[in-house]
Amino acid sequence: MNIVHISDIHFRKEYRSADNGYQEMLTRMQSPLVSLEKCLTRILQQTEIDLLVISGDLTEDGDVEDYRFLKEWLQQIIGKTEILVTLGNHDIKTNFRMGWCEEEPSYLPYNQVLDYPDFTIISFDNSCHGEADGVADIAQFKWLQRTLTRLGDRPIIIVTHHHLLTQQSSMPPWPGTEMFLKLIASYNIRCIFNGHTHHTFLGTVQEIPYYTAASMSFIGEDEGNGMIRFEEAYGYNLYCFDGDRLVHQVTENFKPGILLTTLQMS
């Protein structure tokens, strides 16, 4: 089974003109769909995709029509391939449900549980729109505990938006990390996937393989004293499973060398 993992698309159908800060940076950036099409085409030329995982920040503004357009656009490229999503701090749950899911709006967390013959993959929503570092929601932890209890010793992959490790970014890790790691410690967790930092990271947490995907839009390089250098960059992770074992993992990152801007973000 081949799983493609992308993150932080920050899609917006129209990048409106702006003359200040972060919004101006976005107007200088090419549409992330250009990068996304290159990546998906590159993968499909080499192998099949059985599942596409998007670990949050699908859109920049959480607009209903942006979600609808993005999903339809993706389906034109990957056909009926299943998509698993978790939401990020730029995503708006009510609008996502209307635009992406074609459902009634709801403020409830968006979680998915997909069962495959050899393992189960869970998207765990640790996001809240506008809360950059994510939230530690007790109701969400209770949901995850019930779900893990039901799955027992079945092999599990968990997807979140926010990262868990202090050392991987100047941005703080998710505040629910400690409770989350205690909760999953006794279960058969095979991998953890996430995004948010816009930078690739491969490591382990509690001896569990841990993968952060690059963004599909831009990166911010910390230059100290609150100064962030923004550049165009994009990439993806590909995971190949034989049964419930991860047997091959590929990370590809692309940096065109296009400087977007440098901003004081402190």
> Which value, in Å, is the radius of gyration of the alpha carbons in the chain?
18
Predicted structure pTM score: 0.96
What is the model's pLDDT at position 19? 72
| CA distances to 95, 126, 238 from 110, in Å | 12, 9, 24
Query: Which contiguous run of DSSP H or E holds residue 250?
Result: strand 245-254
- Could you report the per-residue pLDDT of 7-61, keeping only the tens digit for each? 999 999 887 777 778 888 888 999 999 999 999 999 999 999 999 999 999 999 9
Q: How confident is the model at residue 266 (pLDDT cuts 50, 70, 90)?
A: confident
- Could you report the per-residue pLDDT of 63-118, keeping only the tens digit for each? 999 999 999 999 999 999 999 999 999 999 999 999 999 999 999 999 999 999 99
DSSP notation for 11-39 = B-S------SHHHHHHHHSPPHHHHHHHH
Average pLDDT of the segment spanning 152-177? 97
- Could you report the per-residue pLDDT of 218-263, keeping only the tens digit for each? 999 989 888 999 999 999 999 999 999 999 999 999 999 999 999 8
Residue 151 has pLDDT above 80, yes or no: yes
